[in-house]
Structure 1
Amino acid sequence: MNDLLPFLPGQLQQVFDGIPFFMPEIYLSALFVVLLVTDLIFGRNGAWICRIIACCGLLVIALKDVEQLKLLLTGSQLFFNNMLLLHEKTVAFKLMIDILSAVLLLYFNWDDQLASHKKGLTDLYSVVIAAVFGMHLMVMAVNLLSIYLSVEMVSIASYLMVAYRAENAISSEAGLKYVLFGAASSAIMLYGISLLYGFGGSLNLFGSNLMPGLMQVNPLAVALALLLFMVGIGFKLSFVPVHFWVPDIYQGAPTPVSAFLSTVTKVAAFGLLVNLLTPFIFFPGFSKVFNFSLFLSVIGIITMIAGNFAATMQRNLKRMLAYSSIGHTGFALMALVNFNADMQGITALTFYLFAYSLANIGAWMLVSYFSNTANAENMEDFKGLGFKFPLASVAFVIILISLTGIPVTAGFYGKFLVFSSVYTVYQDSHNIWFLLLMITGAVTTVVSLFYYIKVPLNLFLRKTERTTSFSSTSNYLLVSIAIISLLVVCLGLFPDFLVK
């Protein structure tokens, strides 16, 4: 112990120096404590207070994220003993996480099945804030230990959200499956981390020891370690072959929770992947040990094919959106395949993720809306509802058009940016994998039209004989759906608002 005393002042000074770069996360911690205290004071009757505090708190934290840009005028900043990294793209990812989470927190109370839960939603709001804190750490983590801890923090919060409706058998089953699959992927990832640490002698991705150490080891051993490590990341991204949990969990979980898992957690996982890939891709000669570009190309192609073709065979709308999200993951991986110094691929990725997340949240809101009003969950349940609920049905068409990638929506411009970034690199390298990626992306986009069009086909072109009465639902939900539809179109017409 006495031998460590001389180093304590320096370590403490590093902690104090890193606090300005960690202010949004400190505010998140305070918000979590405030929600817990509010829940203790008001109990179930304070659900609306907790919701207001959580949403307003996230908006304040989003402003704190923007303020961090002033700290980056001199470039990226490593802090907390090189455990975390802050740069402009990190701020963009955190901003997306906070804004989308605030929207989802409002949405939780508008889903009748979730809102009617006997425990109330106060606990769920606290869990979401804890998950957001973990996702902030994910997008900043550049140490193998901080990566693992942040992923586990988000995973535990996700397990609680999926199984929140414990009295429901389907939800309980989904929660149990998610925990089992998550624990297995976590163990595999941890084993991969231990191998990387053993081979490189360091946990720091941007340190001077890890990459040279890995270069001295048998390439097959390094490839095995990286593949094991990527299992944990792939579980969060739900790319093939660690995607099999998605349909059952998304169908069994409360609909707003499925929206959360398919959007916000994916944004955080892609932010983590950006930091993870940077040292491996830019270190001279490492592509001969493990070619991440080839790995992501193969995974992206398989994921796009598996997700989109499986979605065409689904009758349940939640399962269709689950497989659709897998296909979108494969498409987003295209942007990382051409990871280069000019960051064109990362810019395309951030816009695509925001456009996809916005439209996907709108789609899940519509699932809740039609479930609340017409108890519609399968495709045949939507027959003839287009004229019963015209505003929601038109909004559904607009949102599905964006998810498909048809002009003039944000989804189209997002896909255009991704295709452009890949094509730019293909012109220089003539890499056959880039060409295959573009072909697969174009074909699966056409395929996605076949299953997305089933919804408007049933809404407007097929008649129903059902005579049951329809229920009323929250007008706030319909207003939010309309706003999201409008934003999707506006971002398609004026994308320069986000892409400079």
Structure 2
Amino acid sequence: MHNLLPFLPGSITNVLGSIPFFLPEFYLAVLFIVVLVTDLLFGKNSEKLCRIVAWAGILLVMQRDYQQIQLLTIGGLANGHFFFGDMLLLTRTAISFKLIIDALAFALLLYFSWDDKLSAHPKGLSDLYTIVVGSIFGLHLMVMAVNLLSIYVAIEMVSIASYLMVAYRSENAFSTEAGLKYVLFGAASSAIMLYGISLLYAFTGSLNLYTGNFAGGLSVANEAASSVALVLVLVGVGFKLSFVPVHFWVPDVYEGAPTPVTAWLSTLPKITAFALLINFLMPFINYPQWHSFNFGLALSAISMITMIAGNFAAVLQSNVKRMLAYSSIGHTGFALMAIVTFNATGQSALIYYLAVYGIANIAALALATYFANVTGAENVEGYKGLGHKYPVASVCFIIVLVSLTGIPVSAGFTGKLLVFSAVYGVYQQTHSLWPLLLLITGALTTVVSLFYYIKIPLNLFLKRSENAANSTVKSYNILIFAMFVSALIVLLGIFPNIILKLF
């Protein structure tokens, strides 16, 4: 105990100096407590109040996120700043990811109460809002984590919150099965990742990826053993990204979970995992003597296989949520193309692509909720003839699917174009086979995606329904949200600099 006393003043100074770089997360921690206490004080009548508090809190957090850009600029910290004993790293890229996360989280907090099945939960949604705020806190940590310990803790925070969200509504056996399956796969991937972390620590004697000589120490270790350790850690990250071969849980969990929770799982943890993957890869990419494990080759192969598996499997689906689940796997593979460029252009393209993908995917699932609310349709065949009865929602659905496919002049087209341009730039410099194969695979699987996305407009407008009954249920909130997102998708497709300049 006495041996630690000389280090105490320095530790206190480090913590106090780190607080300005941790203000958004501090606000999230306070928001979590406030929402939780509000739920406890007002009981079942607290749902609306908890939602308003969560909305206001997220807006405040977004404002603090944006202020952190000035904090780095004024402090001359263009390359980022380590804080809390080098456990976390704040960079401009991390701030961009946090802004995307918080903006999408705000939209999802609106969306949760619009799903009839979820809002009919006997306990209400107050607990769910508390879980969501806690999950956002974990997502922020994932974006900034650069120590293997902080990486693991952040992933587990997000995972536990995700388990609770998936199993929140368990009115039937399929929903219960989805929650159990997610927990089992998540626990297995966490155990595998933790074993990989223990091996990396054994080889390097350090848990910090950026300080010390982590990459250098690992490069002199046994090549096969270090490769196995890195693969095990990538399995844990891959579970959040849902790339092949750790994607088996996605279709059943996405279909069995409440639709707003599916929208959450298919966007926020996935987007955050890409930020975490960038943090994990950079020390090895920037170390000139690193030759033990070829990240570019491994991730390129995973990207191509994931694009092929996700898109071809989606063609065979009739359930809308299951189809969008396989679609999200395909989008993961496409986004990995930007990762393997290992340059600033690729990172910029990735941030834009993930932002517009997140917006469009949430809107697609919100419209799936709309049709489920008003007609009970959950399969593509159930959409027959609904385009003439619900023209506004149907047109919005088409615009959203056009963006997810990547057709001009949508934001999704601009996002895919930026990714293709970044990969083509690498091919021009290196003339390597792998960038060329990525370009070909990305183009072919984009064409394949047309075959399953087109099922929805085909049934909405070109097929007739035998059931002409009109619904008395009106989901105007979702309709207004879909119209706003559709306009935003077109606007960002025409003026992509709105996002590119912001991030």
Query: Taking structure 1 as the reference length, what is the TM-score of the superposition?
Result: 0.99
Q: What is the aligned-residue identity percentage?
A: 62
Partner of 1:382: 383
Cα distance in 2 between the residues matched to 1:283 and 1:242 = 28
TM-superposed deviation, 1:166 = 2.7
Listed as ranges, the matches of 1:226-305 within 5 Å are 226-286=230-290, 288-305=291-308
Which secondary structure state, in structure 2, belongs to the residue aligned with residue 387 of structure 1? helix
Cα distance in 1 between the residues matched to 2:171 and 2:377 = 22
Cα distance in 2 between the residues matched to 1:273 and 1:65 = 21
Which secondary structure state, in structure 2, belongs to the residue aligned with residue 242 of structure 1? coil
Task: Confirm whether residue 42 of structure 1 aligns to residue 42 of structure 2.
Answer: yes
Whether the aligned pair in 2 keeps the contact of 1:374 and 1:471 (CA below 8 Å) is: no
1:461-498: CA deviation from partner (whole Å, max 9, x where unpaired): 00110144424133111100110111001000111111
Partner of 2:96: 92
- Correspondence for 1:204 among 208, 224, 232: 208
- Correspondence for 1:166 among 158, 167, 170: 170
Cα distance in 2 between the residues matched to 1:209 and 1:278 = 13
Cα distance in 2 between the residues matched to 1:162 and 1:94 = 23
Partner of 2:51: 51
Whether the aligned pair in 1 keeps the contact of 2:374 and 2:475 (CA below 8 Å) is: no
Whether the aligned pair in 1 keeps the contact of 2:315 and 2:451 (CA below 8 Å) is: yes
Whether the aligned pair in 2 keeps the contact of 1:31 and 1:54 (CA below 8 Å) is: yes
Which secondary structure state, in structure 1, belongs to the residue aligned with residue 89 of structure 2? strand
Cα distance in 2 between the residues matched to 1:452 and 1:166 = 29
- Correspondence for 1:213 among 189, 194, 217: 217
Task: Confirm whether residue 64 of structure 1 aligns to residue 64 of structure 2.
Answer: yes
Whether the aligned pair in 1 keeps the contact of 2:88 and 2:144 (CA below 8 Å) is: yes
TM-superposed deviation, 1:171 = 1.4
Partner of 1:17: 17
TM-superposed deviation, 1:42 = 1.1
Whether the aligned pair in 2 keeps the contact of 1:332 and 1:349 (CA below 8 Å) is: yes
Task: Confirm whether residue 402 of structure 1 aligns to residue 395 of structure 2.
Answer: no
Task: Confirm whether residue 157 of structure 1 aligns to residue 161 of structure 2.
Answer: yes
Task: Confirm whether residue 311 of structure 1 aligns to residue 317 of structure 2.
Answer: no
Partner of 2:145: 141
Which secondary structure state, in structure 2, belongs to the residue aligned with residue 499 of structure 1? helix
Gaps of 5+ in 1: none
TM-superposed deviation, 1:274 = 1.1
Runs of 4+ residues over 3 Å off in structure 1: none
Cα distance in 1 between the residues matched to 2:6 and 2:161 = 38
Cα distance in 2 between the residues matched to 1:420 and 1:446 = 18
1:158-178: CA deviation from partner (whole Å, max 9, x where unpaired): 000000013332211111000
Partner of 1:482: 483
- Correspondence for 1:339 among 324, 330, 342: 342
Cα distance in 2 between the residues matched to 1:241 and 1:220 = 20
Which secondary structure state, in structure 1, belongs to the residue aligned with residue 464 of structure 2? coil
Partner of 1:30: 30
Whether the aligned pair in 1 keeps the contact of 2:216 and 2:287 (CA below 8 Å) is: no
Partner AA of 2:334 in structure 1: F
Partner of 2:440: 439
Q: CA RMSD in A?
A: 0.8
Whether the aligned pair in 2 keeps the contact of 1:372 and 1:471 (CA below 8 Å) is: no
Cα distance in 1 between the residues matched to 2:253 and 2:492 = 31
TM-superposed deviation, 1:265 = 1.0
Cα distance in 1 between the residues matched to 2:334 and 2:59 = 30
Cα distance in 2 between the residues matched to 1:212 and 1:275 = 17
Which secondary structure state, in structure 2, belongs to the residue aligned with residue 85 of structure 1? strand
Partner AA of 2:375 in structure 1: A
Which secondary structure state, in structure 1, belongs to the residue aligned with residue 310 of structure 2? helix
Cα distance in 2 between the residues matched to 1:259 and 1:362 = 9
TM-superposed deviation, 1:279 = 0.4
Partner AA of 2:203 in structure 1: F
Gaps of 5+ in 2: none
Whether the aligned pair in 2 keeps the contact of 1:351 and 1:498 (CA below 8 Å) is: yes
Whether the aligned pair in 2 keeps the contact of 1:162 and 1:175 (CA below 8 Å) is: yes
1:247-296: CA deviation from partner (whole Å, max 9, x where unpaired): 0000000000000000111111111111111101111121x211111111
Whether the aligned pair in 1 keeps the contact of 2:146 and 2:208 (CA below 8 Å) is: yes
Partner AA of 2:499 in structure 1: L
TM-superposed deviation, 1:390 = 0.2
1:234-254: CA deviation from partner (whole Å, max 9, x where unpaired): 000000000000000000000
Deviates more, 1:4-13 or 1:250-259: 4-13
